[in-house]
């Protein structure tokens, strides 16, 4: 995939003040016949000097000058560990969930893939938590048994649920309090 692809016939265009990221060379375009020339934030196929590039910022480019951003791994949020303040809680109680990883802030959202007690398939909760640590109520009607988080996806945009889940295995038990 390429963020901005400038065809060989493009001339007299000005590309100014753009921030383009998220199109690393490891991705392969599936809609461009020239797969060898894909995977750049800016890919300029036009002759040198045919277009003007000013004050653009990107991670990767070909034949287009741009100021370098940090690699995605250095700026994108990534969670690979989840922990609970207690391994079990009663219905009507609460649990604090903490995610660890890289570039996690109070504005990071977490989608979780989970398996409910007795279920045979996973389900997904989008934007289940904001920030690396948060308290969650265990409603009175919650199913009793082991709830297992099987994956997490950290993201900065509340509407972006497109990235892959990081596999995680963490179990939390819900029980009925005798009191």
pLDDT in tens, 1-54: 678 889 999 999 999 888 887 775 544 444 444 544 557 888 899 998 999 988
pLDDT value for 24: 58
- What confidence score (pLDDT) does residue 140 get? 93
DSSP alpha helices (H): ranges in the chain? 72-75
Selected residue with higher pLDDT from 147 and 19: 147
- Round the average pLDDT of the chain to a whole number and report it: 86
Distance CA 26, CA 162 (A): 17
pLDDT at position 31, please?
Answer: 45
Question: Residue 72: which pLDDT band, with cuts at 50, 70 and 90?
Answer: low
Q: Residues 95-100: what's their mean pLDDT? A: 97
Average pLDDT over residues 61-75: 73
Name the pLDDT band for 74 (thresholds 50, 70, 90): low
Residue with the two structure tokens 């308290």:
135
CATH class of residue range 76-175: mainly beta
C-alpha 11/C-alpha 29 separation (Å) is 24
The C-alpha angle with vertex 110 and arms to 107 and 112, in degrees rounded to 5, equals: 170
Query: Comparing 59 with 117, which gets the higher pLDDT?
Result: 117
Maximum Cα–Cα distance across the chain: 77
Give the whole-number percent of the chain exceeding pLDDT 70: 86
Q: Residue 27: what are its φ and ψ, rounded to 5°? A: -80, 145
Task: For the chain, give every domain's residue range.
Answer: 4-71, 76-175
Residue 67 pLDDT exceeds 80: no
Look at the pTM and tell me if it is higher than 0.75. Answer: no
Query: Would you say residue 171 has pLDDT above 90?
Result: yes
């Amino acid at each position: 995939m390429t963020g901005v692809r400038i065809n060989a016939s493009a001339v007299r265009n000005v590309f100014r003040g753009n921030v383009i990221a998220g199109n690393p060379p490891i991705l392969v375009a599936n809609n461009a016949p020239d797969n060898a020339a894909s995977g750049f934030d800016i890919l300029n196929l036009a002759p040198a000097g045919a277009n003007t590039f000013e004050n653009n910022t990107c991670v990767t480019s070909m034949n287009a000058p741009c100021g370098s951003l940090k690699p995605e791994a250095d700026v994108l949020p990534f969670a690979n560990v989840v922990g609970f303040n207690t391994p079990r809680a009663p219905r009507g109680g609460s649990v604090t969930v903490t995610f660890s990883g890289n570039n996690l802030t109070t504005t990071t959202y977490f989608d979780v893939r989970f398996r409910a007690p007795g279920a045979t398939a996973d389900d997904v909760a989008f934007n289940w938590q904001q920030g690396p640590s948060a308290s969650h109520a265990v409603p009175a009607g919650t199913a009793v048994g082991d709830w297992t988080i099987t994956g997490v996806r950290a993201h900065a945009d509340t509407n972006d649920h497109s990235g892959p889940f990081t596999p995680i295995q963490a179990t939390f038990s819900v029980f009925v309090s005798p009191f």
